Amino acid sequence: MYPDPTICRVGDTYYLATSSFEYFPGAPIFRSDDLTSWTQIGHILTRRSQFRHAEGGPSQGIYGSTLRHHDGRFWFVTTNANEYEAGQLIFSAPDAAGPWSDPVYVPAAVGIDPDLAWDGDRCYLTWKRLSFSEGDLELVQAVIDLSTGEIGPVVQVWQGAGMTAPEGPHLYHVGEYWYLLLAEGGTERGHTVTVARSPHPSGPFEPSPDNPVFTHRSSGHPVQNAGHADLVETTDGDWAAVYLGVRSRGSIPGFHVLGRETFLAGVSWVDGWPVFDETRYQLGPADHAFEDDFSATVLDQRWVVAGGEPSNTVSVRPDGGLEFARAWRVGADLLCVRPRDLRWSAEADAEGDAALVLRIDDRHWYGVVVRDGVGRVEARIGDLDQTRGAVPVDDSVTLRIEAVSPGSLTVPLGHAGPDDIVLAIESSGTRHQLARLDGRYLSSEVASGFTGRMLALGSPSGEGVVRAVRYRPIGD
């Protein structure tokens, strides 16, 4: 779940940030020397003064953004859907690893997907005007004072190639033209990248004759929903693009479970237009395995919380391990980490009342839960709650969840979802498999929204302790 990627280069180093919605810390940021190997260097939003939280459901919070570097400083502009009417938020820092400033608000620019581009000393803010009640409005632009958030007259720019949901504008000055790159078709199966150009940053814009210039729609490509791209000039004078996509699996219509992810393509300029080249970069398999015994006083940056914050959810015990501030009732009571593979195994060593949960939101989750000396599987799918299995267990147990290949064939010979979720518990050296559940019910196609699955730790009473967590990818 690293959607809406935005990228910039400073010298020989590339920086990339993504949206994060309700999860905090927010807006993870990464660094790379070669575009193919990335290291997370932190989060842009690490203080509540930067990311105000309001009561709301999933897929709120931090939306699509733009990361740029200008005049010795990094700039990040984004939308916080929890305070939507406050307009866009602008952050800056001398170092991409932070600390980043508190936001400068742009109250006259209500909408989503803001972009910053400079023409000399003049900075242009381009964004999508949108109302959650009225729907799509228009793509607009204004000159902005970054120190105050004040903007000049608002003008319409190119409204896209005629597809639904034109959004995600990014403006670039390449050669003699200004290029306006858009996402169109919605962030679902019809997602595309389109482009237009003009001698002036505000247009009028001439659309590419080859629009959409990039898409996977109506194809059998294993990555679907491709779009929302951002371009960067490479150190050798070539160009590249990062974009979001999903890996759907299982029976029709296909189910994606890891949320929207970030992908990489090369870009060539042909007759003055960008042409995407998906074969330019070769990425080998990544090893996302990790172990965490919570012996450090500070949590690893992989851990986040939905609608809350780690420091209010858990604390690290002096002898190692996590204890919980309160009983698990909602997402803010759970400490979460992204599973980053299609097939994986995770386990948590726990004492007392504890839970290992696979969730998309508060209405879609499966969990292995120990309560009062009994281990069981608890599941919620929409308005339906179910309990499976019940075994007496010791005070110290290992909770396990695995995402494995489905046991059924796909339609019409079966009903396979993207995977099966195996939930088990080990006590006194004996492993008890408590349930094997259909993974499609923990997919974005069922739960809806812009996020994906999270592995989560919690306690049904607030009295449990998690000593260690282990995660590893597994083969089919």
Which whole-number Å values give the CA distances from 19 to 25, 58, 457, in the listed order? 11, 13, 23
Q: Among 149, 151, 139, which residue's Cα sits nearest to residue 202?
A: 139
What's the one-letter identity of residue 83?
Answer: E
**Residue 10 φ then ψ, to 5°:** -130, 110
* Cα separation, 335 vs 348, whole angstroms: 13
In 86-222, at which residue ranges do the beta strands (DSSP E only) sit?
88-93, 104-106, 112-119, 122-131, 135-143, 155-156, 167-174, 177-184, 192-198, 206-207, 214-215
Residue with tokens 């919570």: 294
Partner residues linked to 80 by β-bridges: 62
Q: Which residues touch 209 (CB under 8 Å, ≥6 apart)?
A: none
Catalytic site residue from 4, 230, 361, 419: 4
Cβ-Cβ contacts under 8 Å for 207 (sequence gap 6 or more): 158, 161, 194, 195, 196
DSSP assignment letter at 286: P
Q: Is 4 a catalytic residue?
A: yes
Which of these is catalytic: 22, 115, 167, 261? Answer: 167
Please state the separation of Cα 294 from the chain's center in Å: 24
Q: What are 32's strand-pairing partners?
A: 14
Strand spans (E) along 148-191:
155-156, 167-174, 177-184
Cα separation, 193 vs 425, in Å, equals 46
Q: Look up 167 and say whether it is catalytic.
A: yes
- Residue 326 neighbours by CB under 8 Å, 6+ apart: 333, 462
243 Cβ contact partners less than 8 Å away, ≥ 6 residues apart: 5, 193, 214, 226, 227, 228, 229, 230, 262, 263, 265
Cβ neighbours of residue 411 under 8 Å, at least 6 residues apart?
251, 252
Spatial separation of the C-alpha atoms in residues 126 and 230, rounded to whole Å:
14
List the catalytic residues: 4, 167
